[in-house]
Chain A
Amino acid sequence: AQKVTQAQTEISVVEKEDVTLDCVYETRDTTYYLFWYKQPPSGELVFLIRRNSFDEQNEISGRYSWNFQKSTSSFNFTITASQVVDSAVYFCALSRGTDKLIFGTGTRLQVFP
């Protein structure tokens, strides 16, 4: 069975702090895809990143970076120098490809000025 665990329910930081959101997944598939989505207070789901199981290279996009480690089945997301606009719920998700997304329960990030 596939499962995504986001153990951090809520994180609060002060602006400019770095913050890491944890994601641990379970799957028996050898080919799978991992995603992060952002859900701001307005409610929509915004795609942030996709990673496939064969590519463990870490990725950086501006203040965002992702660390994928198959050995620990983790796909963690770090925001550097957080800003108030980063306040949102962040979801990690898993799929086999052309398949449903299995979402974690989300981590609510609050960034205070």
Chain B
Amino acid sequence: DAKTTQPPSMDCAEGRAANLPCNHSTISGNEYVYWYRQIHSQGPQYIIHGLKNNETNEMASLIITEDRKSSTLILPHATLRDTAVYYCIVRARGRDTGRRALTFGSGTRLQVQP
């Protein structure tokens, strides 16, 4: 499975954009990039996912480089409630459905500062 590398922690000022990077240099051509976040001990919250094209929804934007080896999650106007651990996950493909279950790493702890 393609591994992901994320910085362990980041700070962001409230109201500013938060740009969370993720490296996935071994990603295969048809594997999706997913982003989740976990606030304190709540259940992981789905944010966004993409394959090749950039994606945007009401929560965030996902920018995937042309070579697909890295991506950036953008929270356009961070608030204190965005303080959480953010997970970048490459979802494995193939007939083995077990490999398609999301594998969580250690993520990036984003602290939004007032």
Q: Do A and B bind each other?
A: no
